[in-house]
Amino acid sequence: MCCVFRCVMHGLLLTAPSSALHAQQYPARPIRIVVGFAAGGPADVAGRLVSQKLTEKWGQPVIVESRPGAGGSIAAEFVAKSPPDGYTLLLPAFAHAVNPSIYANLPFDTAKDFAPVALLITSANVLAIHPSVPARTLREFIALAKSKPARLTYGSAGTASASHLAG
């Protein structure tokens, strides 16, 4: 899972010349981590683990807010339209990188509106089949699928998810 946070430094650099703001320590108020997937999923759990540690370290609440839908694009649009001050961060997943190839008119530019801050998680995909399927290796499974077009099905986490594209 690729994890990209809204550019924290952009907002801080824009305010650096102001002596009153320059003296202000970050964070001076609660921070929101927006997750584009349902509560209880891997991205949400990662966000909550990180938010707990950041709350302890910074002494400011770090809140996780789920805005699921459209492969994380709903959350990404919300964060892209938020002030670039470091108080609204995005914790996307794999789909964030591929959404520009899947959705024609995203209301944000993935490359220009976001900057990576930290990689939080990496994960691997696993192919699992029922023991009754007559294949024991990936090569055998591919041969079986080719020999029976439209007969095998698979489940994924949703459009543009890593498991969907791997399938």
What is the length of the chain?
A: 167
Whose tokens are 């024991």? That residue is 136
* Residue 72 near residue 36 (C-beta atoms within 8 A): yes
CATH number at residue 49: 3.40.190.150
Q: Give the pLDDT confidence score for residue 3 in this predicted structure.
A: 38
CA–CA gap between residue 100 and residue 106 (Å, rounded) = 7
Handedness of CA 132, 137, 138, 140 (dihedral sign): negative
Residue 85 lies in a domain: yes
Last residue of a domain, one of 68, 102, 136: 102
Number of domains in the chain: 2
Residues 92 and 136 in one domain: no
* End position of a domain, from candidates 102, 117, 146: 102
Residues 92 and 44 in one domain: yes
Residues 91, 32: one domain? yes
Q: Are residues 57 and 131 in the same domain?
A: no
- Give per-10-residue mean pLDDT for the chain (167 aa): 38 41 81 94 92 97 95 94 95 86 90 90 85 94 93 81 80
